[in-house]
Homo-oligomer: A and B are copies of this chain.
Amino acid sequence: MKIESVDLFYLAMPEITTAADGSQDALLVRVRSNHDEGWGECEAAPLASIAAYVGPMSHGICRPVCDSVLGRDVNGPQDITRIALDVPYNSVDLLQAPHVFSGIEMALWDLLGKQRGQPVWQLIGYSRAYPKLPYASMLFGDTAEDTLERSKGACAQGFRAVKFGWGPFGRSSVEADADQLHAAREGIGAEGLVCIDAGQIWGDDVEAAATRIPALEAIRAHWLEEPFQTAALESYGALSARSSKVRLAGGEGAHNFHMARHLIDYGKVGFIQIDCGRIGGIGPAKRVADYAAPRGVTYVNHTFTSHLQLSASLQPFAGLAKHKICEYPAAPKQLAVDITSNHLRPDQNGEIQVPDAPGLGMAVNVAGLSRYLVDVEIVVEGTTIYKTPRLE
């Protein structure tokens, strides 16, 4: 089948705030071929991503992503892999390319799965999918009291694991951070898992991060996520050596396989967290899972948006029984909820089943999304090269 069209839909909440909440907008991708369609979602800045898809060619290795996608034949997994190799080569100098391609790649798997009547996890080589234990992913409250309430709320909803991140953490004193950490632990209870996300707040400053280790050890944190920016491998490695109890997690910023590999090899993370909406899609994410597993590193999805994204992000490690924990956006904005008509709810064991249905197994709620659609038009030399397509 030939890729006949790729449509990008920029969706947004009526108000966008400065909270580190990626569910406030979305870039949805629809790929069509022969009356079939597949859907994906980029975890990326919508306008820059649209420009990276449609923008005029700059030179031979700075081509828009559409040049590597439109008109290509996709008859099997190897064709998606081939396109995924062409994009970074043809767009070497277009930094935004992997972010926009990520959603397209997902949509290609979804399309292929629907055509073959197979779930994506089968197409990428797994014979079965294991249930995952979701952790409720939330922002820290402004105060420790707020955080306590949020953590209790997650516990009341049946979550056995929580993750708190961003907000005031790392910005105030060591003592205030310790209060936040104890509140997170108290809310979920002694048996729960507590993950902490520092949101890169310490840049590459190992000493600043190390001051939080005693409190992290005291609350038995399951991991400390992103103390540093993704590229600060030496800082990750140095902090890893500071505690035998608190393992590091990171990788959401990886926009290719190699970046994730380096966090494992040089950064010594214990958990590698991959966002399929950034790393180039499901294929490179699966490659990370294959690399992590034999090295004793646990693969975890990074997902803070819709359940379309959630399904896509579960596929790369669906078949890894021991890689049990999964990120679960616990309090996304309504837009993210409305992107799909079906949802991946925890079952009676509090676990998430990876969809056992063709493609990604999610139904995009086309009719319900028009109200979020952001109208964009890009005109170059008098020619409209992008206009928001109709959602229908």
Contact = CB atoms under 8 A, between A and B. Distances in A.
B59 A16 contact: yes
A203 B60 CA distance: 16
Nearest to A386: B378
A46 interface: yes
Main secondary structure of the interface of A (DSSP, over half): loop
Interface residues of A, number: 68
Given A56-B16, A89-B200, A92-B229, A382 B375 contact: yes
A48 B379 contact: no
A94 B262 contact: no
Nearest to A256: B231
Interface in A27-69: 43-48, 50-52, 54-64
A327 interface: no
Given A374-B380, A381-B374, A47 B55 contact: yes
A391 to B, nearest CB: 16
A114 to B, nearest CB: 29
Contacts of A89: 200, 203
Nearest to A55: B47
A3 interface: no
A176 interface: no
Chain multiplicity (copies): 2
A259 B234 CA distance: 11
Contacts of A203: 85, 89
B59 A22 contact: yes
Interface in A230-284: 231-234, 253, 255-256, 258-259, 261-262, 265-266, 278
Contacts of A16: 56-59
A91 to B, nearest CB: 8
Interface stretch (A95-103, A188-196, A216-224): A95-103
B22 A62 contact: yes
A229 B257 CA distance: 12
A24 B95 contact: no
A94 B258 contact: no
Contacts of A232: 258
Contacts of A56: 12, 16, 25, 46-47, 374
B93 A96 contact: no
A17 B58 CA distance: 8
Interface string A187-228: 000000000000110011000000000000000000000000
A357 interface: no
A203 B89 CA distance: 8
Interface in A333-392: 374-382
A218 to B, nearest CB: 28
A48 B52 contact: yes
Contact of A200 (B57, B92, B381): B92
B18 A59 contact: yes
Q: Which of A204, A253, A377 has the most CB of B within 10 A?
A: A377
A265 B56 CA distance: 36
The 9 closest A-B pairs by CB, nearest first: A47-B55, A231-B258, A18-B60, A51-B51, A96-B96, A48-B51, A48-B52, A20-B60, A47-B51
Interface of A: 12, 16-22, 24-25, 43-48, 50-52, 54-64, 85, 88-89, 92-96, 98-99, 199-200, 203-204, 229, 231-234, 253, 255-256, 258-259, 261-262, 265-266, 278, 374-382
Given A234-B265, A377-B378, 6 more contacts: A46-B58, A47-B55, A88-B229, A95-B99, A231-B259, A374-B380
13 contacts: A19-B59, A20-B60, A22-B59, A47-B378, A47-B380, A48-B48, A51-B51, A88-B229, A95-B278, A234-B261, A375-B381, A376-B378, A377-B377
